[in-house]
Amino acid sequence: MGSGALALSSLISSCRTNQMNGYDEFINTLEQPPLINNQNFTLAASSENYSIGENYQISGFQFNQSYPSPTIKCQHGDRIKAIFENQIGQDSIIHWHGLIVPPDMDGHPKDAISGGAYEYDFLINQRAGTYWYHPHPDRITGDQVYKGLAGFFIVEDEEEKALDLPNGEFEIPLLIQDRRSTSSGEIVYDPSMHEQMMTGFLGDKVLINGTPAAFKDVKKGRYRVRLLNGSNARIYNIAFQNQLPFTLIGGDGGLLPKALEVDQLLLAPGERADILIDFSKFSQERASLVSLPFDIPSSGGMMNGMGNMMGGSSPEQGASFKLMEFKIIDERVGSIPELPKELSVSTFPEEKDAALRRQIDLNMQMMKGHTINGKQFEMNRVDLQVKQGQIEIWEFINDTPTPHPMHIHAIQFKVLDRSGSRGILPHETGWKDTVLVMPGEHVRVIMKFDAPKGMYVFHCHNLEHEDSGMMANYEIT
């Protein structure tokens, strides 16, 4: 089975079974985001007071007065013309996470607007994949994403369509986010200094597509499930409660070279995965999707313990809990086509062709917090310069006690290797734009900088870390 390196001792499991949701049963039908499937559209961000299920309320934000945010679906070769209207009373800008677009279309914090509209115009010139969009202003990204502004951006192409993958009612997007509430049911975002500097803001309940205690009726057939970890800081080790296997077909940047059978999948904030689930193989009437316990190397216990001592009330990073439930209807669907041995043709850069190797140190400084190469983000400072078309290898070295999911704008990369026992994870066998670097780990990635010339950012996708300055500029010249 895949992800075997994540197997844990019974001691760790027993220490990490904190109660998460407090749901007695899964009683709310899973919400499906509204769909935008044309090339010209408006995303209007507004301040709204709205309810989440029957028990929770939030003073937050919405795109197009919808929570969850709309799913945008387009085709390879489309020309996107989008208008972002900012009506939230804060600086904001939209980043198209995973898409390779010109610098003024990418959502750099320097392009944030305080009101009015920002016009986007770019071509979809990359492969099919599960991408997403969210705000990217300096210092307040975590607040805006947490309060409702995030949605899927799905690209389709002919290579993927030729596989005849499940679609329509048999394609399910799952945006996974954790939230924290008061005793009165108010969803709050108020990270402490420790949460900004260390753990990030961890919630005590899980929402799937904005739905608490979510369930989904499914037939006895194969479904395609698009997974997106849209949480600010929480990492999920996704599995079925009985650890039945499922088929992994895609990661951040679309289809993997070949399908892999796995029984768990570790997803950090910003990461995505496409999986196939055949519910005709399930003997029970209900199947619980869960997050299994996992350990954080080195000083993970110290990090979580300090969080509890300093007022953290949510389950620690690595705790186990249920995510949602599938209710299997006794209705079989047609025959399931066999997947080919090769899903996708990918020509990854080779180490021998790398023109430059860089060391990216992920540090922590007293009274400052997390830094990249010893520096915190400054809006107009160029931290790295790369030549357009050049192949480079970056080695992320995590010298801090906390995990860092590192996201690079405007490119897709290939994970070469990871120090320690975890090695390359199944969803890292394809193209990536976000990679999890655990404490003490060294992770090497290789990429070719084909994006248009200009300035982009790379950063930790723990949004509290990003907002506290763990971000850097790089310029393609």
- Specify the pLDDT at position 9: 31
Domain boundaries, the chain: 4-22+164-332, 31-161, 351-476
Sole residue written with tokens 């620690």: 316
Sole residue written with tokens 């010339």: 453
Q: Which CATH number applies to 31-161: 2.60.40.420, 2.70.40.10, 1.20.58.1030, 3.10.20.10?
A: 2.60.40.420
CATH topology of domain 4-22+164-332: Immunoglobulin-like (2.60.40)
Contact 443, 300 (CB under 8 A): no
Distance CA 46, CA 210 (A): 17
Distance CA 303, CA 440 (A): 13
- Specify the pLDDT at position 86: 98
- Specify the pLDDT at position 215: 98
- Same CATH topology for 4-22+164-332 and 31-161? yes
- Specify the pLDDT at position 5: 35
- Specify the pLDDT at position 10: 31
**pTM (predicted TM-score):** 0.94
- Specify the pLDDT at position 399: 96
- Specify the pLDDT at position 177: 98
3-state secondary structure 165-230: CCCHHHEEEEEEEEEEECCCCEEECCCCHHHHHHHCCCCCEEEECCEECEEEEEEECEEEEEEEEC
Distance CA 142, CA 333 (A): 42
Six-digit token pair at 81?
Answer: 């013309």
Nearest to 90 by CA among 26, 144, 10: 144
Q: The domain 351-476: what is its CATH number?
A: 2.60.40.420
Contact 394, 433 (CB under 8 A): no
Distance CA 54, CA 18 (A): 24
Residues of the chain with pLDDT under 70: 1-19, 22, 298-313
Distance CA 154, CA 167 (A): 13
- Specify the pLDDT at position 312: 54
- Specify the pLDDT at position 301: 44
pLDDT single digits (tens) 359-407: 999 999 887 789 999 999 999 999 999 999 999 999 999 999 999 999 9
Contact 384, 472 (CB under 8 A): yes
- Specify the pLDDT at position 19: 61
Distance CA 388, CA 375 (A): 24
- Specify the pLDDT at position 45: 98
- Specify the pLDDT at position 243: 84
